[in-house]
């Protein structure tokens, strides 16, 4: 099998102009996280928890004594996992930069190459410095990382940023002792040198944050000793990690992902996209009280927080790649009240936010995937103390989660899943009795029954299965015959049409086999006519009465959250729409050329495409969308479980009937051993 390298993920080149609809790319070394800004040099959001710069921007470029951004010239930007390259031309100066997070350092590094494409003249190059570094003694409970006012201290070509209390420092500036340094001690670090026509000069900007001066200096010195080596080390480290993801008995992860070999470039690239996008969120920060963890959003928002919902959407990847990390994360959540938060942050382990109604379904899914891939049935016997202080076995917790809907049951017999903040946050009508989570309850009870049978608890299994069968017809009552979508029912008994993909995707991936053939066909027609687009999808149909409520593109008409196309693809195949999905994958492939999946991508009508793919939505108001999201692993499950039809039973048994429209092979490992699946010989 050919293993992926950073070159396989090289993005399209995007031209970023001032205040454009651009989400600048991020970088990480699994400890430090940073994002480039709308500038050829500047960096924002450098955070190394518990030390943070918040969302401040530093190193804005000055040329010839003026802010380069004010020239109106666009910046060409391209991303790879290990680096961001940027270039622009201002007044005959060609500026090209390479930005990396050096492995093992709490820092970001930018190589700045300036070429004089004009006559012989003086180069005046400056960097505008800002610092808001701080060390919060409290949990990170807000979307924005902490920041605080700093005082700046000049130190030659460097600037120290120091908050009140001196509990953190930033050290940034130009490496070495650059010629022509203008030492006025202000915010702008400037050099002035003569360059002949065609001559070029190279500078290095470094930015480290730490808890004290000694630690910041140690990072600075290590980078300054070999900056070119730091750039190369970033490439080598990412290549090593990408290869390890698919390599048995590798030295980084406990497990590995299935090895897919196919001549279908779209399927291979979508599969790798999901794997790389999950890896990007791996945190090995020594400050984590939970050890290795996976963040949910980066590089701008909710650093240190793992959302239960999003983590579960990559469950298929986590269970195979790092099952011990997954096990530890599940056990941590069991000990907290999952009816009062949406996730936890790893600096303290504290809960974050309000209740997401998906939590119980998500935890059943996580536990089931952990058991099916590891074969660790003994995990179900582990005694865990819950939030009420009582100690119960994991299988009891799973059964409780699968039946938790009964505590929320309305007179209709279905569960009330609360208001807008408990569900999709930006669709005001998608509330109370929604079809998605009712179908998930049927699946959860059946899955809890399968886990009970693994332990020989036949009576418990039969009880859960009977509950599931009794609930199923009530779920189907929400369907609108002939329309292909469902109603949401409110406590007063009124029904409200909801043309949302979450119903389509969740019903289709949980109870597709229980639906009448006519309904399955209607649902596929609705998806293809109102939600699917050439290279992405709409989360909400523009024909929905709530499409005017919000422009947040993760769950509204103008785009979709990254797991929704993947899960909708699996659902469409399960409902009989395989042909349409196989036509769609080539367009989806075009969307992979912007780095890992974003928290949302715009549908084509809402924003111009990037190299034919759906554009990532930006972070500014009113969109408030981060550059990347950890539910990327859903794309791996879409390819293997959806397109290739590979099923892994709760006992680890692998079954599949290889599809006739895909040539290739797959090697997948479970506790039962390796299973090799392949297309028949031509």
Instruction: Please compute the mean of the pLDDT values over residues 469-495 and round it to a whole number.
Output: 97
The yes-or-no verdict on residue 350 having pLDDT over 90 is yes
Tell me the backbone φ, ψ of residue 183, rounded to 5 degrees: -105, 70
Instruction: Please compute the mean of the pLDDT values over residues 388-404 and round it to a whole number.
Output: 95
Query: Nearest-CA neighbor of 415 among 368, 461, 471?
Result: 471
* 8 A C-beta contact, residue 561 and residue 629: yes
pLDDT of residue 387: 87
Instruction: Please compute the mean of the pLDDT values over residues 595-620 and round it to a whole number.
Output: 96
- Angle at the Cα of 634 (from 307 to 348), degrees rounded to 5? 20
The yes-or-no verdict on residue 184 having pLDDT over 90 is no
Band the pLDDT of 183: cuts 50, 70, 90.
confident
257-678 and 6-216 share a CATH fold: no
Q: Which two tokens stand for residue 223?
A: 């980078």
By CB atoms closer than 10 A (0-12, 13-18, 19+), residue 474 is: middle
Q: Is 327 left (phi over 0), alpha (psi -120 to 50) or beta?
A: alpha
Band the pLDDT of 288: cuts 50, 70, 90.
very high
Q: What is the DSSP letter of 417?
A: -
The yes-or-no verdict on residue 166 having pLDDT over 90 is no
Tell me the backbone φ, ψ of residue 358, rounded to 5 degrees: -80, -10
Query: Nearest-CA neighbor of 52 among 119, 155, 134?
Result: 134
The yes-or-no verdict on residue 682 having pLDDT over 70 is no
Report the distance separating Cα 207 and Cα 188, nearest Å: 15
The yes-or-no verdict on residue 498 having pLDDT over 70 is yes
CATH assignment, 257-678: 1.50.10.10
The yes-or-no verdict on residue 612 having pLDDT over 90 is yes
The yes-or-no verdict on residue 180 having pLDDT over 80 is yes
Query: Diameter of the chain by CA atoms?
Result: 87
Query: Nearest-CA neighbor of 408 among 426, 384, 434?
Result: 434
- Looking at 228-292, which runs of residues are DSSP E strands? 259-262, 282-283
pLDDT of residue 21: 85
pLDDT of residue 446: 98
CA distances from 115 to 15, 203, 385 (A): 20, 12, 64
The yes-or-no verdict on residue 679 having pLDDT over 90 is no
57-58 and 51-52 beta bridge pairing: unpaired
Band the pLDDT of 186: cuts 50, 70, 90.
confident
383-385 and 351-352 beta bridge pairing: unpaired
Q: Look at the block and give the residue holding tokens 């769609």.
A: 584
Q: What share of the chain in percent tops pLDDT 70?
A: 100
* 8 A C-beta contact, residue 202 and residue 176: no
Mean pLDDT, the chain, rounded, equals 96
Report the distance separating Cα 445 and Cα 448, nearest Å: 5
Q: Please give the CATH architecture assigned to the domain spanning 6-216.
A: Distorted Sandwich (2.70)
Report the distance separating Cα 609 and Cα 528, nearest Å: 20
Q: Which two tokens stand for residue 458?
A: 């036949």
pLDDT tens digits, one per residue of 536-584: 999 999 999 999 999 999 999 999 999 999 999 999 999 999 999 999 9
By CB atoms closer than 10 A (0-12, 13-18, 19+), residue 124 is: middle
pLDDT tens digits, one per residue of 20-52: 789 999 999 999 999 999 999 999 999 999 999
Report the distance separating Cα 639 and Cα 19, nearest Å: 36
* 8 A C-beta contact, residue 535 and residue 604: yes
Report the distance separating Cα 217 and Cα 210, nearest Å: 9
The yes-or-no verdict on residue 347 having pLDDT over 70 is yes
Q: Look at the block and give the residue holding tokens 């059946």.
A: 446
Instruction: Please compute the mean of the pLDDT values over residues 658-682 and round it to a whole number.
Output: 89
Helix ranges (DSSP H) in 511-559: 517-526
130 contacts: CB under 8 Å, gap ≥ 6: 56, 57, 58, 161, 187
Report the distance separating Cα 202 and Cα 111, nearest Å: 7
Domain locations in the chain as residue ranges: 6-216, 257-678
Band the pLDDT of 499: cuts 50, 70, 90.
very high
3-state secondary structure of 508: helix
Q: What share of the chain in percent tops pLDDT 90?
A: 94
pLDDT tens digits, one per residue of 363-386: 999 999 999 999 999 999 999 998
Report the distance separating Cα 562 and Cα 634, nearest Å: 8
């Amino acid at each position: 099998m050919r293993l992926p390298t950073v070159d396989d993920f090289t993005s399209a080149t995007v031209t970023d102009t001032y205040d454009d609809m651009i989400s600048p790319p991020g970088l990480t070394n699994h400890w430090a996280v940073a994002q480039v800004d709308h500038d050829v040099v500047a960096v924002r959001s450098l955070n190394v928890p518990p030390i943070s710069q918040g969302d401040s921007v530093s190193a804005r470029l000055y040329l010839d004594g003026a802010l380069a951004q004010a020239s109106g010239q666009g910046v060409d930007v391209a991303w790879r996992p290990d680096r961001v390259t940027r270039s622009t031309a201002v007044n005959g100066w060609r500026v090209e930069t390479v930005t990396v997070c050096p492995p093992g350092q709490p820092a970001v590094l930018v190589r700045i190459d300036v070429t004089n494409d004009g006559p012989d003249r003086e180069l005046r190059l400056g960097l505008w410095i800002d610092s808001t570094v701080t060390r919060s003694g409290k949990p990170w409970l807000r979307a924005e990382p902490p920041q605080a006012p700093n005082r700046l201290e000049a130190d030659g070509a460097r600037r120290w940023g120091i908050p009140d209390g001196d509990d953190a420092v930033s050290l940034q500036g130009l490496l070495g002792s650059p010629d022509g340094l203008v030492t006025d001690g202000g915010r702008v670090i400037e050099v002035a040198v003569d360059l002949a026509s065609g001559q070029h000069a190279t500078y290095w900007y470094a930015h480290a944050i730490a808890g004290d001066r000694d630690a910041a200096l140690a990072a600075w010195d290590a980078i300054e000793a070999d900056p070119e080596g730091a750039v190369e080390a970033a490439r080598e480290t990412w290549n090593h990690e990408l290869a390890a993801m698919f390599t048995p008995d590798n030295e980084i992860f406990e497990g590995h992902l299935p090895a897919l070999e196919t001549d279908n470039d779209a399927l291979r690239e979508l599969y790798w996209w999901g794997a790389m996008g999950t890896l990007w969120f791996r945190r090995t920060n020594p400050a984590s009280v939970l050890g290795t963890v996976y963040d949910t959003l980066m590089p701008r928002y909710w650093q240190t927080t793992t959302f239960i919902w999003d983590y579960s959407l990559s469950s298929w990847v986590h269970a195979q790649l790092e099952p011990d990390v997954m096990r530890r994360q599940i056990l941590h959540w069991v000990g907290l009240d999952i009816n009062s938060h949406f996730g936890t942050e790893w600096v303290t382990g504290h809960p974050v936010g309000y209740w997401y109604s998906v939590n119980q379904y998500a935890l059943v899914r996580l536990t089931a995937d952990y058991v099916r891939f590891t074969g660790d049935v003994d995990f179900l016997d582990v005694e865990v103390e819950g939030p009420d202080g009582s100690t119960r076995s994991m299988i009891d917790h799973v059964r409780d989660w699968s039946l938790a809907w009964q505590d929320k049951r309305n007179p209709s017999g279905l569960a009330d899943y609360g208001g807008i903040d408990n569900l999709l946050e930006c669709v005001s009508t998608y509330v109370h009795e929604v079809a998605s989570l009712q179908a998930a309850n049927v699946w959860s009870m059946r899955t809890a029954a399968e886990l009970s049978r693994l332990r020989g608890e036949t009576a418990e299994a039969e009880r859960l299965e009977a509950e599931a069968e009794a609930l199923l017809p009530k779920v189907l009552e929400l369907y609108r015959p002939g329309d292909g979508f469902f109603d949401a029912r409110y406590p007063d008994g009124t029904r409200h049409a909801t043309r949302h993909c979450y119903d389509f995707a969740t019903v289709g991936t949980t109870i597709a086999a229980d639906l009448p053939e006519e309904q399955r066909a209607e649902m596929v027609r609705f998806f293809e006519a109102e939600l699917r687009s050439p290279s992405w999808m709409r989360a909400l149909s523009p024909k929905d009465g709530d499409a005017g409520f919000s422009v947040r593109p993760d769950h509204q008409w103008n785009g979709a959250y990254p797991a929704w196309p993947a899960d909708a693809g699996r659902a469409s195949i399960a409902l009989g729409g395989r042909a349409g999905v196989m036509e769609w994958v080539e367009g989806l492939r075009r969307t992979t050329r912007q780095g890992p999946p974003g928290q949302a991508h715009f549908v084509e009508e809402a924003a111009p495409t990037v190299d034919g793919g759906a554009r990532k939505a930006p972070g500014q108001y009113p969109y408030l969308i981060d550059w990347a999201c950890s539910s990327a692993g859903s794309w791996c499950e879409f390819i293997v479980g959806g397109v290739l039809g590979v099923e892994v039973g709760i006992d680890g048994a692998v079954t599949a009937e290889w599809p006739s429209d895909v040539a290739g092979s797959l090697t997948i490992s479970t506790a039962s051993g390796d299973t090799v699946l392949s297309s028949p010989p031509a």
